[in-house]
Amino acid sequence: MQSFIKKYSIFLMLYIVFQPVLDAVTGLMAQAHINITFGVLIRMAVMAVTVFYILMFLILNRDNKHGFRVIAYFVVLGIVSVISLIVNYKQKELFIPSLELTTLAKSVYYPIMLLGYFYAFEELAEDRIINRFFPKVIFYAVNIISIIMIIAHFTNTSFSSYAYYKLGESGWFYAANELSAIVSIAFPIMVWYALKKISNWSRIYYWLTIILAIYAALLIGTKGSLLAILFGTCMAILAAVIHFFQDSSRRKFNAGIVVLLGLTLGGVFAAYPAMAVSRTAELHSDMIKYKKKQAKTKKGITKDQKKYVETNKTVSYLLSGRTVYFENAANNFKKATPAQKIFGMGYATKFKSEKKAKLVEMDYIDIFFQFGFLGTIIYLAPLLYCLIYLIGTFLRKFKDMWSFKWAMLVASVALGFGMALMTGHVIEAPSVSIYFVSILSYAMLNARIFLRTNQNPYTIDVED
């Protein structure tokens, strides 16, 4: 059984590299109107095996107290989820079993895979096998995404990110928001890997992959990916500047890294006017002006359009109208039964037809409406624990947090939590959450070792 633990831990690492392939196949199947997609089936199967893997790991680990806490958490989460399904089956105006069960299965993906990756990292860290896989797998996965995006772009076979504007491209990937979230969360990890590999200028070619990733991200046309690139690059510049002053033996090399990062950031600003994301900002302003003008006519505008127009211009642009969906969902939740408020209203709160079912697309908000007061606390408990633990580590070990490894881990984790609020499709989207939970698990392992031993785990880093 120990052999299974080791092999499956390695499988979980390699599994990350195949995510873009699953997503591309899923995108093509969705375009062909095939409802049950290949990617969903594979991910659910892996999740099921990961549950068995976690149980075997706990049994072999023989830490009864820890094992009891883990099993108790999933039992409680399972009970609350079942109660939520029963409550909504009896009280929801329209209850679609396939939709509710699929949504629930996607929701539990994050806590299972978060724990699975943490145990995998723990297993592989013992003999430093982990260095052969992470963050290399993230680096390769984003490179595959970049290649697919660029091939689709130059063969004119890309799907539109914004079909109604015919703007932005998502390559052969179906969901532009999910693709944007993936690239955003993974970008700092790519930068970390590339900078560690450029130990001398003969390997500057690693930076070409960063340029390609930036180009692919800007092709998507979403503001989330642009902001993530700017934030990740600025964090890298800050770390490089600190290296410049701290390491006098490599001051010339560190100065070169600062220049490289500065040129990259400048290139992003230079390319911005020509990219789809700049055009979407312009169209947003034009649409607000059009609807304000239309509101003065006899035809007028709808109630939802009026809410959108009256929202602060910057807020409505950043959240892309999510405030309107939030108000609608909040009104439904306000009218919900006490049981629904405690255990949630399931998928998209209340709707009269499947076509009218709308998520807010802000993960924390959707989770609250889906799981209710009690369910949200239980569901988000692992994420809250990780967030508090990592913030505590960051503050206690602040002076050591400016290596490229720590700075980029901090940036990636911050982007994961931030994108979950701003754009959604992070925590409850399996295609995105696997990147987030694997990076979060890696950060947790390093933080745990750091606090337990009071020594920065330098041996867990990019392999030379």
| DSSP characters over 319-378 | HTTHHHHHHHHHHHHHTS-HHHHHH---TTS--SSGGG------HHHHHHHHHHHHHHHH
The pLDDT mean for the chain works out to 87
pLDDT bucket at 452, cuts 50 / 70 / 90: very high
Q: Each residue of 134-179: pLDDT tens digit? A: 999 999 999 999 999 999 989 988 888 765 555 778 888 888 889 9
> Residue 130 has what pLDDT?
93
Which DSSP letter does residue 426 get? S
Q: Residue 293 pLDDT > 80, yes or no?
A: no
CB–CB of 362/327 below 8 Å?
Answer: no
How far is it, in rounded angstroms, from Cα 315 to Cα 85? 34
Q: What is the mean pLDDT of residues 359-379?
A: 93
Q: What is the mean pLDDT of residues 227-239?
A: 95
Q: Residue 407 pLDDT > 60, yes or no?
A: yes
pLDDT bucket at 304, cuts 50 / 70 / 90: low
Q: Residue 380 pLDDT > 90, yes or no?
A: yes
Which DSSP letter does residue 159 get? P
> Residue 11 has what pLDDT?
96
How far is it, in rounded angstroms, from Cα 45 to Cα 455? 38
SS3 label, residue 153: helix
More confident residue, 289 or 213: 213
pLDDT bucket at 464, cuts 50 / 70 / 90: low
Terminal CA-CA length for the chain: 32
Q: Residue 113 pLDDT > 90, yes or no?
A: yes
How far is it, in rounded angstroms, from Cα 445 to Cα 121? 7
Q: Which residue has the tokens 């699953």?
A: 22
Q: Each residue of 386-401: pLDDT tens digit? A: 999 999 999 999 999 9
CA nearest to 136, candidates 398, 454, 417, 442: 442
Element (H, E) at 168: strand 167-169
Binning the chain into helix, strand and coil, the percentages to the nearest 5 are: 80, 0, 20
> Residue 127 has what pLDDT?
83
Interaxial angle between packed helices 64-91 and 97-107, expressed in degrees from 0 to 180 and rounded to the nearest 10: 160
DSSP code per residue over 238-297:
HHHHHHHHH-GGGHHHHHHHHHHHHHHHHHHHHHGGGSHHHHHHHHHHHHHHHHHHHHTS
Q: What is the mean pLDDT of residues 234-260?
A: 92
Q: Residue 414 pLDDT > 70, yes or no?
A: yes
Q: What is the mean pLDDT of residues 97-116?
A: 94
Tell me which amino acid residue 27 is.
G
> Residue 308 has what pLDDT?
53
SS3 label, residue 126: coil
Alpha helices in 168-250 (DSSP H): 176-197, 206-220, 223-246
